[in-house]
Structure 1
Amino acid sequence: MNPAIPDLAALHALGAAQQPSYPDAAAVDAAVARLRSYPPLVFAGECDRLTDKLAAVTRGEAFLLQGGDCAETFDGVTADNVRNKLRVLLQMAVVLTYAASVPVVKLGRFAGQYAKPRSSDFETRDGVTLPAYRGDAVNGFEFTEAARIPDPQRLVDVYHSSASTLNLVRAFTTGGYADLRQVHAWNTDFVQGSAVGSRYEAVANEIDRALTFMKAIGADPDEFHRVEMHSSHEALVLEYEHAMTRIDSRTDLPYDVSSHFVWIGERTRQLDGAHVELLSKIRNPIGVKLGPTTSADDAIALSEKLNPENTPGRLTFITRMGAGKIRDLLPPLVEKVEAAGLQVAWVSDPMHGNTYEASSGYKTRSLADVTDEVQGFFDVHRSLGTWPGGIHVELTGDDVTECVGGLEDLAEMDLGNRYESVCDPRLNRVQSLELAFLVAEMLRKA
């Protein structure tokens, strides 16, 4: 390990929030040793290309679409599931690109998003209290004592599941599925009887005409036939991220080769904490979630720690304020960071500040609140003359019933019909595409 990277013991000594309490230290060491012996999941050059793309976002020349599951599960690593998530991201990207006439950087929230921070260490049901479920990377979702014991072998399973997901994504994006000429095929099971599907089909027809014209004049760029889809996840479990940090043979610099892009969550962004320290050393493009308690001075200090060379594309600030707070809390943050000359991409996470518990007990979100936070994000940037660089959304390509509202008019009473998330509620395919059209309208005015 490069001397610039602190060892695990030193990182934990800094104070590491939201970490599993493993009962067997020897089993942890064995799992970490196995991970260190495995090949990279991504390559440093791919990470550098993403940094270049995010530099364009920072300059206002591109828009970031980041989306996927709240928490992946091992059982969810199937061709159908991966294809469905990829399909909705491709459809959203087409809508956004068509509307804004700027490149859309596509960043999946997959191939590593197996660990979740929790507001409480424990969960109680019917008088029984057990450790909280922290994602398949840590323990099992089943409410039993055995399932809830943190198991470091699961980190090895994360690696293999992530490798399978990446293989599927690469096969789909380079093997013809992502060809723009498939723009209608992505919609065939969806357009009938769906207002948003019909609207998408109108866009697809326009794209078809443009492609026919391009072919007629002899232009057939490779970009029409494949897309570059990068992976991302929250860098939460230190043992996994540390084990997957390697020295690039080209540059002798460290990269976290578990993912192209990793981010620090709202609960782990302590300036002197372990997560900020580790990610300050790697060369990947990175993000930081900024919630309503973030001050402008906090953001500036994080930027100086994580991006001391002020490299465009290196750092993304992902704001998650809540629809009712975004218009008041975001302006002083953006103003002071921009006045300091810091090179950051600003991205909206309109999901995490708008979660509430329905009367039925389900955690949910309203699409109206999600849209309102994005609108507030755009309003603030428009008023300051800065670029609203993207959206970060928890979504699925399936017809789940986890968030209320939208053209389907899902109500709280509908949540139990198909509530499948093991953590936070996700937008379904119709709601995701509806959001894309709404954001497209905002982009036209930005």
Structure 2
Amino acid sequence: MSDLAPLPARAWRGRPAAQQPVYPDAAELAAVVADLRTRPPLVFAGEVDALRELMAAASAGEAFVLMGGDCAESFSDNTADNIRLKVQTILQMAAVLTYGASTPVVKVGRMAGQYAKPRSADTETRGGVTLPSFRGDSVNSHEFSPQARTPDPRRMLDAYLRSGTTLNLIRAFTMGGYADLREVHSWNRGFTANPAYSRFEAFAEEIDRAMRFMEAAGVDFEALRQVDFYAAHEALLLEYEDAMIRRDSRSGRLYDTSAHFLWVGERTRDVDGAHVAILQGVHNPVGVKIGPGTSPEDVFSLMDRLNPHGEPGRLSLITRMGADRIRHVLPALVEAVQADGRPVTWITDPMHGNTVTAENGYKTRDFETVMDEVRGFFEVHQALGTVPGGVHVELTGDDVTEVRGGGERIGTATLEERYETLVDPRLNHQQSLEIAFEVAEMLRS
């Protein structure tokens, strides 16, 4: 890939650009961006094209997308153990979903680049002191001080390096035998042995019998020791994403080489805005988060900008409606897209529409409400004869206590025991697997 993208890929400049940090030193920002342009790509065109094909299969019901990872990655948690545990959790979920769907599961991590987050307010006030909001480690620091909260463009260089080392470790895990299906299955057997999740034991026993059948039939398990694992993040920091655009020397296409898959958030999906414009110019598969206020006309406008010719696998619509609204709002959008005829991959994000503040002040989500939105997503598609293509969840491989409920019945008082997220609450390891078993049952029904 060549290092520099031509000007047409930079049509976002001059467009409205929401959620961007204000850097105090324009010259320093320009120097950082120039440095990033000279650095090697983090992902490659062939990998991106392979994911586009898989996303196309998911839109047709021939695959299912599992997208999961941190709300916002942090530099301090960018350790081998944390990366391994997240990968392990996604692999465990994927093994269960593969059995339930009887189709391949596309494994995508909100990893190796999810270092920036949109915020509802530009500033935060504590004790009469007002400072810029924390926008993720690639922008500023969570510490509440003027120096820490001042946006620093050099943090983008750190984000690039940490994303690269994360991708290297993910590739080592998924290509070096850690993803062996037999090992992943044994981890899940340990999960269902817990009395809190005994209701899934029969399902796990079915998978166990299937594994024994495969072994008896002479299936080459050595061929199942490696899996494809893709990286995704929100395309939020425009200068960073712009600096990572490269032209593929073989095809001549432009790719955002910061990740395989990028999405535009609910707050930044203005069809005339900079975020849609920057993704319009690259060949990656892309997604758009759509909330309950989205109209069919909004969706058509996004399709016209991001996938005007209806190329399969190019565009995913990631719904974040809220459990109390999805059954009422989603049908009209699905029917409109179905009538339009251009393919999209429908994915549910059951997390962001269901955030509440607990009585003790902690931002949280309720597991049953999250599951109810997932059920509503499947019910709508089943009723309309369309394809539920995937799930997109915020999770960690650790035993945090940030989301209430689940088999181990985390309560409000328990939140403070291991509340570690810097932005939004995440499913812990056990809750993530619980969702996988529940969704697997929906997929095979």
Are 2:181 and 1:176 aligned? Answer: no
Structure 2 match to 1:376: 376
For 2:241 and 2:145, how far apart are their aligned partners in 1? 28
- After superposition, give the CA deviation of every residue in 1:278-327 in whole Å (9 maximum; x if it has no partner): 10110000000001111011001101110122111010000000011101
How many equivalent pairs are there? 442
Structure 2 match to 1:91: 92
Q: Give matches, 1:165-314, under 5 Å.
A: 165-187=166-188, 193-196=194-197, 206-220=206-220, 223-314=223-314
- Asked whether the equivalents of residues 181 and 208 of structure 1 are also in contact (C-alpha less than 8 Å), the reply is no
CA 1:312 to 1:161, structure 2 compared with 1: closer, same or farther past 3 Å?
Answer: same
- After superposition, give the CA deviation of every residue in 1:354-373 in whole Å (9 maximum; x if it has no partner): 00111111110001110011
Amino acid at match of 1:76: D
Q: Give matches, 1:39-438, under 5 Å.
A: 39-187=40-188, 193-196=194-197, 206-220=206-220, 223-438=223-438
- The residue matched to 2:255 in structure 1 has which SS? strand
- The residue matched to 1:75 in structure 2 has which SS? coil
- Asked whether the equivalents of residues 296 and 333 of structure 1 are also in contact (C-alpha less than 8 Å), the reply is yes
- The residue matched to 2:140 in structure 1 has which SS? coil
- The residue matched to 1:398 in structure 2 has which SS? coil
What runs of 5+ residues in structure 2 fail to find an aligned partner?
Answer: none
- Asked whether the equivalents of residues 45 and 255 of structure 2 are also in contact (C-alpha less than 8 Å), the reply is yes
- After superposition, give the CA deviation of every residue in 1:173-219 in whole Å (9 maximum; x if it has no partner): 011110112124535875664432x5667655544544444344433
- After superposition, give the CA deviation of every residue in 1:249-279 in whole Å (9 maximum; x if it has no partner): 1111100000000000001100010111110
What runs of 5+ residues in structure 1 fail to find an aligned partner?
Answer: none
- Asked whether the equivalents of residues 123 and 132 of structure 1 are also in contact (C-alpha less than 8 Å), the reply is yes
- Asked whether the equivalents of residues 323 and 372 of structure 2 are also in contact (C-alpha less than 8 Å), the reply is yes
Are 2:39 and 1:38 aligned? Answer: yes
- Asked whether the equivalents of residues 99 and 441 of structure 1 are also in contact (C-alpha less than 8 Å), the reply is yes
The TM-score with structure 1 as length reference comes to 0.96
- The residue matched to 1:233 in structure 2 has which SS? strand
Structure 1 match to 2:8: 5
- Asked whether the equivalents of residues 95 and 185 of structure 2 are also in contact (C-alpha less than 8 Å), the reply is no
Deviation >6 Å, runs of 4+: none
- Asked whether the equivalents of residues 404 and 412 of structure 2 are also in contact (C-alpha less than 8 Å), the reply is yes
Amino acid at match of 2:140: N
Cα root mean square deviation, aligned? 1.7
Shift of 1:220: 0.7
For 1:26 and 1:201, how far apart are their aligned partners in 2? 60
Shift of 1:436: 1.1
Are 2:21 and 1:14 aligned? Answer: no
CA 1:67 to 1:429, structure 2 compared with 1: closer, same or farther past 3 Å?
Answer: same
Amino acid at match of 1:229: F
- After superposition, give the CA deviation of every residue in 1:352-398 in whole Å (9 maximum; x if it has no partner): 00001111111100011100111111111111000111110000111
- Asked whether the equivalents of residues 402 and 426 of structure 1 are also in contact (C-alpha less than 8 Å), the reply is yes
Amino acid at match of 1:195: A
CA 1:118 to 1:13, structure 2 compared with 1: closer, same or farther past 3 Å?
Answer: same
For 1:6 and 1:246, how far apart are their aligned partners in 2? 10
For 1:22 and 1:83, how far apart are their aligned partners in 2? 34
For 2:404 and 2:173, how far apart are their aligned partners in 1? 31
CA 1:406 to 1:104, structure 2 compared with 1: closer, same or farther past 3 Å?
Answer: same
- After superposition, give the CA deviation of every residue in 1:48-77 in whole Å (9 maximum; x if it has no partner): 000000000011111111000000011111
- The residue matched to 1:155 in structure 2 has which SS? helix
For 2:43 and 2:177, how far apart are their aligned partners in 1? 21
For 1:211 and 1:186, how far apart are their aligned partners in 2? 14
CA 1:275 to 1:223, structure 2 compared with 1: closer, same or farther past 3 Å?
Answer: farther
CA 1:187 to 1:99, structure 2 compared with 1: closer, same or farther past 3 Å?
Answer: closer
- After superposition, give the CA deviation of every residue in 1:309-352 in whole Å (9 maximum; x if it has no partner): 21110100000000111011101111011101111000000000
For 2:206 and 2:182, how far apart are their aligned partners in 1? 12
- Asked whether the equivalents of residues 61 and 103 of structure 1 are also in contact (C-alpha less than 8 Å), the reply is yes
Structure 1 match to 2:442: 442
- The residue matched to 1:147 in structure 2 has which SS? helix
For 1:20 and 1:194, how far apart are their aligned partners in 2? 48
Amino acid at match of 2:418: R
CA 1:96 to 1:360, structure 2 compared with 1: closer, same or farther past 3 Å?
Answer: same
- The residue matched to 2:76 in structure 1 has which SS? helix
CA 1:12 to 1:340, structure 2 compared with 1: closer, same or farther past 3 Å?
Answer: same
Amino acid at match of 1:5: P
- The residue matched to 1:271 in structure 2 has which SS? coil
The TM-score with structure 2 as length reference comes to 0.96
Aligned identity (percent) is 60
